């Protein structure tokens, strides 16, 4: 079973993401923004901060888990920005998702990065 860590400060959003992912059969846990946490197959992180703080958060995650793929989500990303982009790739992000997004959008990104849970 694939293990996913969700780093999202908004409680309602975090719980919704975890519900969607568990419904697909993934093992999911929440982590605090500064927490390195236990090994995972994927980290989903909200990059809600100003650009420099968000980049610092991504670098810290990649330093703690260099081999773990990352999906970045944010309300600051442009709608329609899907997949990955050069800046995200530079920071080690495999996919970016603009908020708001649907369950289908999230699951498609997760499946594209680590495959199905089943």
Domain at 84, CATH number? 3.40.50.2300
- Please tell me the predicted confidence (pLDDT) of residue 9: 83
User: What global pTM score does this model have?
Assistant: 0.83
Which has more confidence, 64 or 10? 10
**Average of pLDDT values for 76-88?**
55
Cα distance between residue 8 and residue 29, in whole Å: 11
> CA angle 12-13-15, nearest 5°?
65
Q: Which domain holds residue 92?
A: 3-114
pLDDT tens sequence across 3-48: 999 988 889 999 999 999 999 999 999 987 666 566 789 999 887 6
Q: CB neighbours (10 Å) of residue 33? A: 15
Query: Does the pLDDT of residue 95 top 80, yes or no?
Result: yes
Number of domains comprising the chain = 1
């Amino acid at each position: 079973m694939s293990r996913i860590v969700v780093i999202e400060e908004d409680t309602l959003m975090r719980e919704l993401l975890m519900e969607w992912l568990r419904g697909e059969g993934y093992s999911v846990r929440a982590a605090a923004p500064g927490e390195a946490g236990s090994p995972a197959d994927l980290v989903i992180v909200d990059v809600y901060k100003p650009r420099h703080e968000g980049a610092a958060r991504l670098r810290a995650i990649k330093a703690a888990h260099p081999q773990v793929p990352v999906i970045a989500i944010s309300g600051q990303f442009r709608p329609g920005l899907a997949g990955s982009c050069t800046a995200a790739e530079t920071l080690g992000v495999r996919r970016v998702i603009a908020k708001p997004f649907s369950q289908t959008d999230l699951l498609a990104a997760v499946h594209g990065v680590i495959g199905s849970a089943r």
